[in-house]
Chain A
Amino acid sequence: MAKDEFTEFKLVGTRPDRPDGLDKVTGRARYGADMSMPGMLWAAVVRSPHAHARILRIDTSKAEALEGVKAVVTRADFPEGLTGEEWNLQENTIAGDKALYDGHAVAAVAATSALLAQDAARLIEVDYEVLPHVIDVDDAIKPDAPAIRPGAADATVPEGMPANVVRYIDFGHGDVDAGFAEADLVMERSYKTEATHQGYIEPHACVGQLGADGKGEMWVCTQGQWYIRKMCADVLGLETAQLRVTPSEIGGGFGGKTTIFMEPLSLALSRKAGGRPVKLVMTRSEVLRATGPTASASMDVKIGMTKDGTITAARAEFRMQGGAFPGAPVDMALYCAFAPYKLKNVHHIGYDVLANRPKCAAYRAPGSPMGAFAVESLVDEMSRELGLDPLDVRLTNGVREGDRASYGPTFGSIGLIETLEATKAHPNLLVPLGPNQGRGIAAGYWFNHSGETSVSMAISEDGSAQVSVGTPDIGGSRASIALMVAETLGIPYEDVRVNVVETGSLGVNEPTHGSRATFASGKAAVVATGQAIKEMCRRAAAEWGIDEDAVEWVNGAAQPAGPNAGKFPPLTIREIAGKMGETGGPISGHHEGLPEGVGASFGCHVVDVEVDPETGHTTILRYLVVQDAGRAIHPSYVEGQYQGGAVQGIGWALNEEYIYGEDGRLQNAIFLDYRVPVASDLPMIDTVIVEVPNPGHPFGVRGVGETGITPPLPAIANAIQDATGLRMTHLPMTPPKVLAALKAAGRG
């Protein structure tokens, strides 16, 4: 059924209360650290204080002698012989020969109380031989930088590259030199962004239990229970199906909870402690030092433009470090960097570089914000140089359906132009600006993602419906999926309960990542619901003694399809469900697969700032997010994604960064010093939901979670230039940095 043909939905697009709302406002919702189990032990982790060090000796005897200590594990308790990403995950879980970053786990202990475990951890003695380290990406790519993991480079890296380059990518189309020759203005700039953390307020936490028989279970805060299961099984050498992983309510993830960090330690400790459950909860400092922040980036961009604003050629070279393991999202940063622009000539080069920092994880549109910062900053600067409206320059060059994307393929249905036009029409653009105030705009892009998806649904005896999904609900996906299922069934929203289930209940699901939950689980839930509807129509047909094809489903009831089918009063879902025990048994639906039809999402942000010339402090005066949602199933939670993404981007632009000392230690591993935006830093965040429906989803959903973090970085830099005339090229644009720039320009 092509629901795009509907002019009106009954439920889709409304704003009912979320199903988990009551639990979350009363403190009843259970998160990772809220679970306790009978006989439970508590764990603590010993971590390297060095950025790079050979581990010479670990003496656990004093800890083991402490009354109440039940198990201690080191790398020696983990299987050998892993390769590739499985080895990377094991090495990051617990160090082998070398500690690769400040905070790298070296040993773990389980005891009868949390305090006792912490006491025991302090008794574990580790001897290190400190090795030279490297932190900054531009230092790490130098030929004489300390080689962190010789041999870690993959086959993409040609011979002769510096030792810490582990992946290399080079792509593009057209002839950039010819394109630059056609330009009236060619500009080239270098930009840097620092590593930031997802900053979810809930630290990682789990309770793991593993018996000597290899059977185990885990309660854990995660974006993906099947990923946790597979990764833990790989790292520990277990049979995957023998682990049962139950996701808790999740206190934020933003990509950072799509992988493992310390979860296998709780299982290894449990196995060693006779199978007693082991609770492991990270401190905030452990989260910042030893989970997966995003990469830092150093980027060179060159663009050619004609006087009317047409881009004739573009070139980008990005160097990104994602810690001591391969995986900096340099490829995705490059794919997204020029995505809003139709380019005849474009060339991208990328280097993934190792440094002595924690293993990066995904963070909301991984890579895209860095690329956008570089490209959208330069497009803005060139627009100003040529006296053109930066929004018009984006409209002039903006991609439409059928255009070749900067990264190669041809775009299907996209809504960039509609997004830019909605931006142009917004009243925020007419607000007059005062002294030291400026306005900046920038666009952003994210692909969105599908992935392995398995959903079951069943009709209950009273005609209500339950849906089992495998994608943890972070931002309201239970509400959006319930709306789509209720709309499809023709029953009230309140009659649908969506459950996020454990790994024993469904086939493999990818995590809630890539903005996929409402798209992929939602699409699968609608297909599964269609199966249940078909079965209910079949049962009505049998009741009436007519052909099942002569029955249609309308407004929550089966009815004869047209006058030729026969005259029968409709059979409601409640009536059919009430008799299902006598008419063939349970009525359910199930769909699994790799849902096709992902729709990409473009956004455009407009920010007004005021820069204090005495302190260099930037105040956000006004903020506008315009983004194509495809279709907003629950508009409040779409707005919430736009607002939350924008504020994370504001933090990245103005405050947040990993700061390392000369010794390679992280210097700001608490929230006082790693400063995320607080309520008093911000105005209201205005939103416009553009709806260019995605033809690949039954309700037109594109996925809305990630694009919103991308434009703020350049939009704020552009606004600061508008306010001060200064072009800031290194994030974050903290007051000291802006003040120094003002002083250097003789205006501080």
Chain B
Amino acid sequence: MSKIHVTTTVNGDQVEFLADPRESLLDCLRDRLGLTGSKEGCGTGDCGACSVRLDGTLVCSCLVLGVEAEGKTVETIEGMANGNELHPLQRKFVEHAALQCGFCTPGILVAAKALLEQNDNPTETEIRYWLAGNLCRCTGYDKIVRAVMDAAAELRGEAA
């Protein structure tokens, strides 16, 4: 099957790749661009491990075709830190032990960042419902929710 040439912007960089029209955006990120930070846990949009932003919208990249990224902007976990300067969410996840195996962590961080950009002071319940599409099997979510609340407080400029 012939491939389609795709030009898109990933984490601020313009990139090009050839995509089979059946390939998901997740597969293209991982296998065409070497960005393996986004994970496949289910391939059906149920686990959220592949969460990325597409033109700012939080999506499961396993449910988006690679060719749909043409001309759009994609943000992945690899673009979350500014060089060596971690985003407060990343730092708080480590501080709060909000990860064990870490496989769901990239998707949860991308999703949590999207939440805090539209709601800088979410309640525990709002965080739990926002992250309900991101499965974590290790932590029971307790420390994840605490890390997100603490990062939100820091971003609001409140003392942790």
Bound pair (A, B): yes
A283: chain B residues at CB < 8 Å are 43
> B103 contacts the other chain (Cβ, under 8 Å)?
yes
Does A679 lie within 8 Å of B144, measured CB to CB?
yes
> A592 contacts the other chain (Cβ, under 8 Å)?
no
A646 to B136: give the CA distance in the assembly, Å. Answer: 13
Partner of A249, one of B31, B42, B102, B144: B102
Does A26 lie within 8 Å of B90, measured CB to CB?
yes
A114 to B32: give the CA distance in the assembly, Å. Answer: 12
A109 to B81: give the CA distance in the assembly, Å. Answer: 40
Does B137 lie within 8 Å of A644, measured CB to CB?
yes
Residue of A nearest to B42 (CB): A284
A646: chain B residues at CB < 8 Å are 140
Does A672 lie within 8 Å of B141, measured CB to CB?
no
**What is the interface of chain A mostly: helix, strand, loop, or mixed?**
loop
B125: chain A residues at CB < 8 Å are 680
Does B142 lie within 8 Å of A672, measured CB to CB?
no
> B133 contacts the other chain (Cβ, under 8 Å)?
yes
> B40 contacts the other chain (Cβ, under 8 Å)?
yes
Does A30 lie within 8 Å of B36, measured CB to CB?
yes
Partner of A252, one of B1, B101, B141: B101
B100: chain A residues at CB < 8 Å are 252, 474-476, 637, 640, 644
Known: A252-B137, A671-B42, A671-B47. A679 touches B132 (CB 8 A): yes
A22 to B31: give the CA distance in the assembly, Å. Answer: 23
A contacts, CB < 8 Å to B: 15, 17-18, 20-31, 33-34, 36, 113-115, 198-203, 249-254, 281, 283-284, 474-476, 634, 636-637, 639-640, 643-644, 646-648, 670-672, 676-682, 684-685
Does B132 lie within 8 Å of A680, measured CB to CB?
yes
Residue interface mask B77-102, A partner, CB < 8 A = 1: 11011000010001101111101111
Most buried by B among A27, A202, A253: A27
Does A202 lie within 8 Å of B105, measured CB to CB?
no
B90: chain A residues at CB < 8 Å are 25-26
Most buried by B among A18, A34, A202, A250: A202
User: 16 pairs across A/B with beta carbons < 8 Å?
Assistant: A25-B94, A26-B86, A33-B40, A202-B39, A281-B40, A284-B41, A284-B42, A474-B138, A476-B97, A636-B97, A636-B143, A640-B138, A671-B42, A671-B46, A678-B135, A679-B131
**What is the interface of chain B mostly: helix, strand, loop, or mixed?**
loop
Given contacts A27-B78, A201-B47, A647-B139, 6 further A-B contacts (CB under 8 A): A25-B109, A28-B37, A202-B41, A636-B96, A639-B142, A684-B146
Nearest-CB distance from A645 to chain B (Å)? 8
Does A672 lie within 8 Å of B44, measured CB to CB?
yes
What are the 6 tightest A-B residue pairs by CB atom distance, in nearest-first order?
A: A27-B37, A251-B103, A24-B102, A647-B140, A643-B140, A636-B97
Nearest-CB distance from B97 to chain A (Å)? 4
Most buried by A among B90, B138, B146: B138
Nearest-CB distance from A386 to chain B (Å)? 34
Known: A18-B94, A26-B90. A672 touches B46 (CB 8 A): yes
A646 to B137: give the CA distance in the assembly, Å. Answer: 11
Does B101 lie within 8 Å of A250, measured CB to CB?
yes
A670 to B42: give the CA distance in the assembly, Å. Answer: 7
A501 to B129: give the CA distance in the assembly, Å. Answer: 39
Does B141 lie within 8 Å of A25, measured CB to CB?
no
Does B101 lie within 8 Å of A27, measured CB to CB?
no
Partner of A201, one of B1, B35, B104, B124: B104
Nearest-CB distance from A559 to chain B (Å)? 36
Does B106 lie within 8 Å of A27, measured CB to CB?
yes
Residue of B nearest to A623 (CB): B140
Does B143 lie within 8 Å of A640, measured CB to CB?
yes
Does A27 lie within 8 Å of B38, measured CB to CB?
yes
Most buried by B among A24, A201, A684: A201
A147 to B55: give the CA distance in the assembly, Å. Answer: 57
Nearest-CB distance from A353 to chain B (Å)? 28
Residue of A nearest to B27 (CB): A114
A251: chain B residues at CB < 8 Å are 39, 41, 101-104
> B54 contacts the other chain (Cβ, under 8 Å)?
no
Nearest-CB distance from B4 to chain A (Å)? 13
A15: chain B residues at CB < 8 Å are 97
Residue of B nearest to A24 (CB): B102
B128: chain A residues at CB < 8 Å are 679-680, 682
Does B143 lie within 8 Å of A201, measured CB to CB?
no
Residue of A nearest to B144 (CB): A679
Does B137 lie within 8 Å of A254, measured CB to CB?
yes
Nearest-CB distance from A22 to chain B (Å)? 7
A745 to B95: give the CA distance in the assembly, Å. Answer: 49
A134 to B93: give the CA distance in the assembly, Å. Answer: 46
Does B135 lie within 8 Å of A115, measured CB to CB?
no
Nearest-CB distance from B145 to chain A (Å)? 7
Partner of A27, one of B43, B76, B97, B145: B76
B94: chain A residues at CB < 8 Å are 17-18, 21-22, 25
A670: chain B residues at CB < 8 Å are 42, 44, 46
Which B residues between 30 and 75 are near A, CB-CB below 8 angstroms? Answer: 30-31, 35-44, 46-47, 49
A678: chain B residues at CB < 8 Å are 131-135, 141
Does B42 lie within 8 Å of A685, measured CB to CB?
no
A634 to B100: give the CA distance in the assembly, Å. Answer: 13
Does A25 lie within 8 Å of B105, measured CB to CB?
yes
> B25 contacts the other chain (Cβ, under 8 Å)?
no
B104: chain A residues at CB < 8 Å are 201, 251
> B10 contacts the other chain (Cβ, under 8 Å)?
no
> B156 contacts the other chain (Cβ, under 8 Å)?
no
Partner of B97, one of A113, A637, A684: A637
B43: chain A residues at CB < 8 Å are 283-284
Nearest-CB distance from A647 to chain B (Å)? 4
> B5 contacts the other chain (Cβ, under 8 Å)?
no
Partner of A31, one of B39, B136, B142, B145: B39
Does B42 lie within 8 Å of A648, measured CB to CB?
no
A677 to B136: give the CA distance in the assembly, Å. Answer: 9
B152: chain A residues at CB < 8 Å are none
B20: chain A residues at CB < 8 Å are 113, 115
A67 to B143: give the CA distance in the assembly, Å. Answer: 50
Partner of B127, one of A21, A202, A679: A679
Does A199 lie within 8 Å of B105, measured CB to CB?
no
A28 to B76: give the CA distance in the assembly, Å. Answer: 12
A636: chain B residues at CB < 8 Å are 96-97, 143
B127: chain A residues at CB < 8 Å are 679
